[in-house]
């Protein structure tokens, strides 16, 4: 049977990807954030997971508002680097694991998650930023296949925080029922903490809420699931509500986790955080 060995949380802002492509890991304005990836990179290098499930949102790249699924899972053997208007990032295509992905797809549908199954799903910065930050050494190609799950956090109706947590629990059941004995999986939740990029509250941040969210995510995630999406918007800004995707990562883990790393930095108009939870 498969086993989830850890969960990671990361922002997915395109500005981080641009720094990586320039090799600007030591940019003084961003160094406190970029250094936050170092312990996560080292842990992944030691752990060598067989696959990573990455929960992210597509930014109107593979999907558009006339056809935007609530949950979309890719079963592709390889994921192209999407062109978001400035040409694709200089990254090799990201490998998938079709056998594992099809198993997860069947398991989620059996678990009453009616997902959209995609056999071709190019990845944009929502997935590429955390992937390129967590696995910076691609000299031998990507070291870990990725199973991307795109979540609609852009166009209403948006799934509830509780639904994302339940998705994580369903992912845990899917991994545990995978037939490959000793197959080790990590789950990644992505998105920025408090931020709003439009309207009267443009530039809004709420650092106390960001700290409360991180504390509850670790110690009492069920309390986070009791909040409405509107509560996340009120406290963390309209775009800051995308942090519900971290609940899918946390829901895939047991109630008690070992926090190995936590970092927070807010250099511009977004609260950026990184966490690393290990399953005891």
Residues 6+ apart with CB under 8 A from 210: 193, 194, 236, 264, 266, 271, 273
Domain ranges of the chain: 3-278
122 burial (CB, 10 Å; 0-12 / 13-18 / 19+) is buried
Q: Which of 12, 79, 103, 195 is catalytic?
A: 195
Establish whether 103 is a catalytic residue: no
CATH 3.50.30.20 fits 3-278, yes or no: no
In the chain, what is the greatest distance between 2 CA atoms, to the nearest angstrom?
53
Identify whether the C-beta of residue 232 lies closer than 8 Å to the C-beta of residue 243: yes
Cβ count near 241 (within 10 Å): 24
What's the length of the chain? 280
243: three-class secondary structure by DSSP? helix
What is the CA angle 263-40-207, rounded to 5? 15
Residues 6+ apart with CB under 8 A from 181: 1
Residues 6+ apart with CB under 8 A from 249: 7, 8, 9, 55, 168, 187, 188, 189
- Over residues 93-109, the pLDDT tens digits come to 999 999 999 999 999 99
Angle between helices 14-22 and 125-134 (to 10 degrees): 40
CA atoms of 9 and 188, how far apart (whole Å): 6
Cβ count near 215 (within 10 Å): 12
The pLDDT profile of the chain, 280 residues, written as one tens digit per residue, is 899 999 999 999 999 999 999 999 999 999 999 999 999 999 999 999 999 999 999 999 999 999 999 999 999 999 999 999 999 999 999 999 999 999 999 999 999 999 999 999 999 999 999 999 999 998 889 999 999 999 999 999 999 999 999 999 999 999 999 987 799 999 999 999 998 988 888 878 999 999 999 999 999 999 999 999 999 999 999 988 999 999 999 999 999 999 999 999 998 889 999 999 999 9
What secondary structure letter does DSSP report for 159? P
Establish whether 269 is a catalytic residue: no
CB contact burial 76-110 (16+ within 10 A = b; e otherwise): beebebbebeeeebebebbbbbbebbebbbebbee
Identify whether the C-beta of residue 123 lies closer than 8 Å to the C-beta of residue 81: yes
Q: Dihedral (C-alpha) 4, 10, 33, 91: value to the nearest 10 degrees? A: 100
Q: Which of 79, 125, 261, 265 is catalytic?
A: 125
Identify whether the C-beta of residue 52 lies closer than 8 Å to the C-beta of residue 186: yes
CA atoms of 154 and 244, how far apart (whole Å): 12
């Amino acid at each position: 049977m498969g086993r989830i060995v850890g969960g990671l949380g990361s922002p997915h802002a395109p500005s981080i990807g641009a720094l990586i492509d320039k090799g600007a890991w030591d940019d003084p304005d961003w160094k406190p954030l970029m250094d936050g990836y170092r312990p996560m990179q080292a842990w992944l290098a030691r752990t060598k997971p067989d696959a990573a499930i990455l929960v992210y949102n597509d930014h109107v790249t593979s999907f558009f508002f006339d056809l935007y699924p609530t949950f979309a899972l890719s079963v592709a053997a390889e994921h192209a680097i999407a062109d978001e208007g400035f040409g694709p990032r200089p990254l090799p295509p990201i490998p998938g694991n079709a056998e594992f992905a099809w198993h997860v797809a069947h398991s989620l549908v059996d678990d009453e998650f009616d997902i959209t199954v995609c056999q071709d799903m190019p990845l944009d910065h929502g997935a590429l930023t955390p992937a390129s930050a967590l696995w910076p050494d691609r000299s031998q190609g990507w070291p870990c296949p990725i199973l991307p799950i795109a979540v609609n956090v852009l166009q209403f109706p948006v799934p509830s925080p509780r639904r994302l947590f339940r998705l994580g629990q369903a992912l845990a059941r899917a991994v545990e029922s995978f037939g490959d004995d000793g197959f080790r999986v990590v789950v990644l939740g992505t998105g920025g903490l408090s931020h709003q990029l439009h309207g009267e509250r443009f530039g809004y941040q709420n650092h106390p809420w960001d700290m409360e969210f991180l504390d509850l995510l670790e110690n009492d995630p069920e309390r986070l699931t009791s909040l409405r999406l509107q509560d996340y918007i009120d406290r963390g800004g309209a775009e800051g509500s995308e942090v519900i995707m971290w609940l899918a990562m946390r829901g895939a883990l047991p109630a008690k986790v070992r926090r190995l790393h936590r970092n927070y930095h807010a250099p511009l108009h977004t609260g950026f955080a990184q966490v690393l939870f290990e399953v005891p």
